[in-house]
Amino acid sequence: MKTIIVACGAGVATSTLICDRVQKLLTSQNIQANIIQCTLGDISRYVDQANVIVTSMKVDRSYSIPIVLGISFITGVGVEQTEKEIIESLS
């Protein structure tokens, strides 16, 4: 099963909104995946078990998996492109 890390600054408000949108995307595409919600600082704790990171903030560190900026789920601008990037990262 695939695993997605959803991270924001505090790991609460913004990441909760993004988690909801990612879950709806996964459901619409019939993809089963675990979602780990955390802070940016906690990403390294989970990165070895994940396939993609979706974050509301720019990540200054490099990881071995794709990072998708999910701010479009908050602003509503560019949602389709973000969804495409997430799906491609899980393929």
| 38 in catalytic set | no
DSSP codes joined into one string, the chain? -EEEEEEESSSSHHHHHHHHHHHHHHHHTT--EEEEEEEGGGHHHHGGG-SEEEESS---S--SS-EEE-THHHH-SSHHHHHHHHHHHH-
Which residue of the set 8, 22, 53, 67 is catalytic? 8
Residues marked active site are found at 8
